[in-house]
Amino acid sequence: MARNDLQGSLDLLVLKTLSQMGELHGYGIVLHIQRASDELLSVEEGSLYPALHRIEQSGWIRSEWKLTDTNRKAKYYRLTAAGQKELRKAEESFEQVVKGVRAVLRYAQG
Amino acid sequence: MSILRRITNLFHRSKLDQEIEAELRSHIEMRAADNIAAGMPPQEARRQAVLRFGSRPAMKERVIAADVQMFLDSLWQDLCYGLRLLRKSPSFTAIAVLTLALGIGATTTMFSVVESVLWRPMPFPQSQLLVTVESANRKQPENYGAVSVADYLDWRAQNRVFDGLAAFDWSDGRTLTGDGGAERVYVMPVSANFFETLRVSPSIGRTFRADEEEMGKNRVALLSHSLWESWFHADGGVVGNTISLDGQPYTVVGVCPASLRLEFDPDAAVYVPLTLDAASSTRAERALRVFGRLKEGMDVRRARTAITLIAQRLAQEHPKEDGDWGVRIQSLRDAFTHFETATTFSYFFLGAVSLILLIACATVANLQLSRGLGRQREFAVREALGASRRVLTRQLLTESFLVALAAGLAGTLFAFWGTSGFSAFLPPGTLPRQQYISFDGMALFFSLGLSLVTALLFGLAPAIFSSRVDLNSCLKEANRTGAGGTDQKRLRNAFVIGQTAIAFILLFGAGLFVNSFLRLERISLGFRPHNILTMQIHADGPQYSSPDKVILFYETMLRQVRALPGIRAAEAASQVPLTSGMDVPFAVAGQPRPAPGEAPGAVVRVVTTAYFQLMSIPVLAGRNFTTQDTATAPHVVIVNQNFTRHFLAGENPIGKELQILPGSYDKAVVLGPVQIVGVVGNVKEVGLNEVGFNDIYFPFAQSPDSSMYLAVSTNIPGVVDPIRKEVASLDKNLPLLNVMFMDQRVADAFRGDRFNVLLIGSFAIMAVLLASIGIFGVASYSVGRRTQEFGIRMALGADRKSILGLTLRSAAALSLTGLLVGFVAALALGRILGNRLYIVPREHEGLLYGVSLFDPLTLAAALVLLTSIALVASYIPARRATKVDPMVALRHE
């Protein structure tokens, strides 16, 4: 279920990140989004974990405790098949939203 | 998505908490390490990392809130899907909902009745602290209850466990006179602390003062709210007014609040102080009812120990009167509601009605199963498309809950009506506080809880079995007969067997009640009730202060009434049959004298000379009363057959002497020695189904009772008006009460038993109906599934008769197994019930009369009836099997 709101876009970012990077822990997701967006987007860390939990409960991602490169225990997330499908849907719906918003903005300026 | 995991998450928050905590810790550590790498001092690095999260507890809450949100979302989805499906098969939904609603409604109705009668707390603040304290004879376990004045006063003065120990006497009818005319009201003597102990304060005025328990200061009265409204027209300035009870003036000191509901004596309209004079009666005269309010924090056990200690001391000080006596303490509610007749009635019918609910659940479970079979392809397809079995099970359970919820709502409505219908049809005097039976929050809670339980009962098995789909066999069109599986078939058969068994038990039970009722109808009353009109008169007041005046009044009245046209005879008796009565203690001369308070009692009847002829009560030995038995002649009595059998077995009763002992009996019977001059037949005194009472009849001339029933032999109902006129000519303040033909009293006595028959009869009808639906369903289903087989058999030469036999046989096997199980269960139940359904010594009525719980005739009748019903239910679908056209059946696939 794609939602045309900010929560929906956080889900999209998380799913997309995982599809690009394979396996990542929460902190890694934060860093990636920051880096990939040229520091334009910074994920609020307090919102990330509820979102991860919800997405996991929906069956779109799976998690596993593993050791990091620096030998720390961390929870790694990866995309599931259902998550792939969901990502495609979310991307589409995001495109729609962006188009829609842009159209409105243009209308307001013109 | 895993709904189960999400639910477990909700319940295992601590585990979830730990996991989140660990994840956050690792996140913070990584961030801190990066911060340090970027050149921050370690402490600052950590602080920054933590800060970015904001409040950690709040974040954890948000993780959990996400769970709840998703749970609700998916529940909503299931509900919508379930609703859509149920709407698609309206007939299934309607039958299932209706069946369950009946079961839930009937069960909740009985629950609501039992809850109102037995379990609901009495309507007083902190009523769980109220307990009764009764004297109990240690040697005679049946002898307990009332307390003597002196014992009560000692308990009250010496105990430290009660916040008030109050006493009262049962209310008694008295004549209230004044400007408004005359009215019969119930007057209840209560101790001064009675209302305070109940925590009831008057709406106007005050309650009694302690010194008003003394003789001479006790002419004060409290009015019930309704009497205040009817008699004083709700006059706010009523305090200080005078009312007259039996001609004696009482000053009104207060009015009880409208909310006061004295469930153990609901008729009381006036309260007067109990006169507590220890010197006026002995400790052996036990007549008071005592209850107390436990001090806060005190429990019944400790109170019992404390009062027992006092009672033991009193027993040592007064060995003659109190030597054998201890105390008995129980909650006020239990003491006045948990009578054996009430509990037997309540639990018996509650048990019976829950059997119906079980049958209803089995019926719906069976319906679900057959519907599940029809939906197997749907499930198979969905499973092939990736739905997990858990999803399918959940779907089915959700549907069951939806059905149960609808049934619960409808059932609640049924129970709401049922409860008021039940209390409207319940004959008066069947249950304690039955006028307060109502459907309340507890019943609502029960009803909705019950619908959840039923959802599990009828929904779980079908949900598990129906979702267990064999993909291959199911999707292969040709192999359709294989669908269903033996497990499911066994389950369905088990349901049908269970239904038949329960239906048999209820049918047999109903048969027993019918049988018992028929026996009651043939019972000997001991008198002839036809064309005898009876009415009660209470000649109370100053003008009847002496026995002579009472005799004069009644004799004059009888003479005038006998002179009226249409009246063949007129006599009087203190009580007529089927109106109960009072006990008087006595001793048989020549037999060892019983200890005080332990003397046997016999029912008192004061009668005029020709009363026995009028009622056609046979004089079996000795003589009748005559006009020679005057006040100055030797005192004589007549006893009944029971009396001679119990107390004078093997002796000639005529000429024997009895000692009439003083007791709580407030009627004017002679005390001291009396001689038995005759023996009469037994009559039914309280009800038809009673333990025979021992009666002593006193001649009116020697024991003039101011309160008498007038019994006239007439067949003209309208004769009551001239009688009323004659009585008014003697005293205009005497109302005629309880005017009724004896035939009517007999008919009323049957009402309770008729009600029981109707109740269990309707249960049995419901049960049999549901069971036959079950048998019919299984039979038609199996016929439907074997259509192809029958086609082949017929093509191979089987005739219609053998096909009929084939289908009937399998259906008959099922119902016969059910009958067998039911038969064994009924016998086992009979053993468990023992003699509980019959009269018990202290009570005078039972549910059943004169029929054994193993009555072979009733067993046989129930067997035959249910077998024929089962045969009809399976014959209809079986006949359809014989109509199969072999060609059509074979081409079918």
Distance CA B257, CA B254 (A): 10
Tell me how close the Cα of B391 comes to any Cα of chain A, in angstroms: 14
Q: For residues B344 and B836, is the Cβ–Cβ distance under 8 A?
A: yes
Pick from A45, A53, A57: CB nearest B52:
A45
What was the pLDDT predicted at B637? 96
pTM higher than 0.90: no
Pick from B20, B33, B53: CB nearest A46:
B53
Contact list, A58 vs chain B (CB under 8 Å): 1, 70
Using 50, 70 and 90 to split pLDDT, how confident is the model at B755? very high
Contact between chains at B54 and A46 (C-beta distance less than 8 A):
yes
What was the pLDDT predicted at B476? 55
Q: Within 10 A of B168 (CB to CB), how many other CB atoms are there?
A: 20
What was the pLDDT predicted at B334? 92
Residue in B795, B787, B595, B582 with CA at minimum distance from that of residue B694 = B582
Residue A57: closest C-alpha in chain B: B1
Burial of B435 from C-beta contacts in 10 A (0-12 / 13-18 / 19+)? middle
Using 50, 70 and 90 to split pLDDT, how confident is the model at B84? confident
Q: Within 10 A of B651 (CB to CB), how many other CB atoms are there?
A: 12
Contact between chains at A46 and B62 (C-beta distance less than 8 A):
yes
Contact between chains at B26 and A49 (C-beta distance less than 8 A):
no
Amino acid at B577: P
Residue B74: closest C-alpha in chain A: A58
Tell me what the mean pLDDT of segment B825-845 comes to: 80
Q: For residues B310 and B328, is the Cβ–Cβ distance under 8 A?
A: no
Distance CA B311, CA B561 (A): 54
Pick from A27, A50, A70: CB nearest B62:
A50
Q: Which of A45, A47, A61, A73 to mutate to test the interface with B (most CBs of B within 10 A)?
A: A45
Contact between chains at B59 and A54 (C-beta distance less than 8 A):
no
Q: Does B134 have pLDDT greater than 90?
A: yes
Tell me what the mean pLDDT of segment B680-704 comes to: 90
What was the pLDDT predicted at A3? 42
Contacts of residue B165, defined as CB under 8 A and 6 or more positions apart, other chains included, come to B133, B152, B155, B156, B159, B193, B197, B290, B291, B292
User: In this prediction, does ipTM exceed 0.85?
Assistant: no
Q: What are phi and psi of B593, to 5 degrees?
A: -70, 125
Q: For residues B623 and B636, is the Cβ–Cβ distance under 8 A?
A: no
Looking at the DSSP bridge assignments, the partners of residue B183 are: B176
In angstroms, the Cα distances linking B623 to B2, B674, B678, B711 are: 91, 15, 5, 21
Using 50, 70 and 90 to split pLDDT, how confident is the model at B833? confident
Using 50, 70 and 90 to split pLDDT, how confident is the model at B477? very low
Pick from A25, A45, A54: CB nearest B70:
A54
Q: Does B77 have pLDDT greater than 60?
A: yes
Tell me what the mean pLDDT of segment B31-37 comes to: 86
Residue in B111, B191, B120, B161 with CA at minimum distance from that of residue B334 = B120
3-state SS record for B723-789 = HHHHHHHHCCCCCCEEEEEHHHHHHHHHHHHHHHHHHHHHHHHHHHHHHHHHHHHHHHHHHHHCHHH
Q: Does B863 have pLDDT greater than 80?
A: yes
Contact between chains at B70 and A50 (C-beta distance less than 8 A):
no
Q: Mind listing the pLDDT tens digit for each residue in B847-858?
A: 888 888 899 999
Q: For residues B307 and B327, is the Cβ–Cβ distance under 8 A?
A: yes
Residue in B515, B522, B354 with CA at minimum distance from that of residue B854 = B515
Looking at the DSSP bridge assignments, the partners of residue A75 are: A65
Q: Mind listing the pLDDT tens digit for each residue in A34-63?
A: 888 888 887 877 788 888 888 888 888 988
Encoding tokens for residue B872? 């009809």
Percent of chain B with pLDDT over 70: 92
Using 50, 70 and 90 to split pLDDT, how confident is the model at B69? confident
Amino acid at B328: R
Pick from A47, A50, A70: CB nearest B33:
A70
Residue in B350, B356, B365 with CA at minimum distance from that of residue B455 = B365
Q: Does B13 have pLDDT greater than 70?
A: no
Using 50, 70 and 90 to split pLDDT, how confident is the model at B1? very low
Q: Does B478 have pLDDT greater than 50?
A: no
Angle, vertex CA B171, rays to CA B170 and CA B172, nearest 5: 115
Percent of chain B with pLDDT over 90: 48
Residue B55: closest C-alpha in chain A: A46
Tell me what the mean pLDDT of segment B674-680 comes to: 95
Pairing outcome for strands B147-148 and B286-294? antiparallel
Q: Mind listing the pLDDT tens digit for each residue in B603-616?
A: 999 999 999 999 99
Residue in B602, B666, B662 with CA at minimum distance from that of residue B284 = B662
